[in-house]
Amino acid sequence: MSRVAYLGARQSEAMTIGRRDLVLGGIGVGLAAAVGPRAGAAHEETEMPAPFSTYGIVPGGGIDQTASLQEAADKAARSGTPLFLPPGDYTTTKLELKSGTEIQGVPGKSALRYNGGGALISIENAEGVRLTGLTLAGEAKPIDGGALLIAEGVKGLSLSDCLIVGSAADGVVLRKVSGRITDCEIGDIRGAGLFSEDATGLEIGHNHVRDCGDNGILVWRSAVGEDGTIVTANRIERITAKSGGSGQNGNGINVFRADSVMVSNNRITDCAFSAIRSNSGSNCQMIGNSCARLGEVALYAEFAFEGAVIANNIVDDAAMGISVTNFNEGGRLAVVQGNLIRNIFFRKDADSRGVGIAVEADSAVSGNVIETAPGYGIMIGWGRYLRDVSVTGNLIRNAHVGIGVSTEALAGTALITDNLITGAKDGAIRAMNGATPTGPDLATASAEAYRNLVVSTNVAR
């Protein structure tokens, strides 16, 4: 499968003084008057600076303010005093932020509007950059291979309570970045909402990612290796595949070559392909996600991976619930447990799917509930690609075939026990020749004819 590379990559003077501050201020004035002018002067000399400053920046409507914004950001970085952008619009080309820069705005009201330059904000080889309460608006203007925010080689990036919208390319592109992207809304994006490559300790949490042309959140590495990004409690919806392809686009969350990525407790809906798709990413965890209305496989572990845990997820309305596949490419070792999968359908193309759960190698499938699958409830192996699969304690209702298992001459061993299968139209447990069931229903007939199968104590009704 081809992969598309992403190159993109309170104004302090007007602070409101609370009643408590006035009282304390009055006490201070009284003390200064009591002890004399020298004590008052000493107090002025040691007074702390304001907690933030506008550095003279005021909203400018359609006037380009790149120079003044850049100067203010540089002053903020040097002084360690956050730059505050009052409510309004600030038209700008690319701003380059240095270590220690902190910019604050009023969420939904302090807007940087893109006026060219390949990005609105660029951060390179920096530390401790914090952006809070800003709107980054792309205005749907062309961005040549870029994004509204690009960060590379950044340690401790914090992006929170920001609105990132209207990009003609990507929303946020991160390379070799550590930090946190939290409580942001990223939407109306032509490419990917958020793309991370070679992260060095990143958390992506509690964001709303919506209406993206190709993908929602991508966690990639330039080569296979440890990544450890945490993707949790995000709401992701309406992800299309405008750039086409067979699965590299159209995904809510896409993990590629990145090991030990944790994807948990996300709500993912209305994606052209998968809710979560992990390609060649070992030790990936997909836990407690709620997924609905997916055009292909909802939860996917594919190609050269070793280790996947797919547990306690809900999948409702997809062409396939869960697939752990590509043993021919080294894909192996998985736990698929405690998932609820329902309303599976056939796609309107040659790759019709219609399967609840499919696994191939070194996998345990247990405690899942599957209801309504026009193909197989559970499919074990494909041709010769089957090794050491245990399928136990699952409930399958209203599938065409409850469980199908490969019995090709070179296929490995499968254990099928203690499953409850009801309403299967063409047999509860069937041997498979490719996609075609053969022989008797093994839930009621002996499986001794198949040297690779152990089938026992299943209930079929």
Residues 34 and 65 in one domain: no
**Is-contact 368 402, C-beta < 8 A?**
no
40, containing H or E segment: helix 37-45
Q: What is the pLDDT of residues 37-70, one digit of tens each?
A: 333 333 333 343 456 799 999 998 789 999 999 9
Phi and psi dihedrals of 23, rounded to 5?
A: -65, -50
Decide if pLDDT at 73 tops 50.
yes
Note down the domain range covering 28: 18-47
Percentage of the chain modeled with pLDDT above 90: 84
What global pTM score does this model have? 0.88
Higher pLDDT among residues 317 and 16, named by residue: 317
> Are 23 and 81 within one domain?
no
Which residues have CB under 8 Å from 302's CB, separation 6+?
Answer: 1, 277, 278, 279, 280, 323, 325, 326, 331
User: In the prediction, which pLDDT does 51 show?
Assistant: 67
**How deeply is 321 buried, as exposed, middle or buried, from its count of CB atoms within 10 A (0-12, 13-18, 19+)?**
buried
Same domain, 82 and 181: yes
The answer to whether position 58 is within a domain reads yes
pLDDT over 60 at 175, yes or no: yes
Q: For the CA atoms of the chain, what is the radius of gyration?
A: 28
Q: Each residue of 286-307: pLDDT tens digit?
A: 999 999 999 999 999 999 999 9
455 occurs within a structural domain: no
The string of pLDDT tens digits covering residues 375-424 is 999 999 999 999 999 999 999 999 999 999 999 999 999 999 999 999 99
In a domain, 272, yes or no: no
Angle of helix 19-35 relative to helix 37-45, nearest 10 degrees, comes to: 130
Task: Please tell me the predicted confidence (pLDDT) of residue 372.
Answer: 98
**What's the mean pLDDT when you consider all of the chain?**
90
Asked if residue 75 and residue 135 are part of one domain, the reply reads yes
Q: Are residues 100 and 162 in the same domain?
A: yes
pLDDT in tens, 315-370: 999 999 999 999 999 999 999 999 999 999 999 876 778 999 999 999 999 999 99
Instruction: Clarify whether residues 179 and 97 are in a common domain.
Output: yes
Whether 42 and 108 map to the same domain: the answer is no
Same domain assignment for residues 39 and 59: no
Q: Flag whether pLDDT at 24 surpasses 90.
A: no
Q: Are residues 30 and 123 in the same domain?
A: no
Q: List, for residues 76-104, the tens digit of each pLDDT value.
A: 999 999 999 999 999 999 999 999 999 99
Give the residue from 153, 186, 219 where a domain finishes.
186
> Which sign does the torsion angle of CA 267, 271, 277, 279 carry?
negative
- One DSSP character per residue, 193-239 reads EEEEES-SSEEEES-EEEEESSEEEEEEEEEEEE---EEES-EEEEE
114 and 155 assigned to the same domain? yes
CB distance 337 to 314 below 8 Å: no
Identify the band that residue 188 occupies on the pLDDT scale cut at 50, 70 and 90.
very high
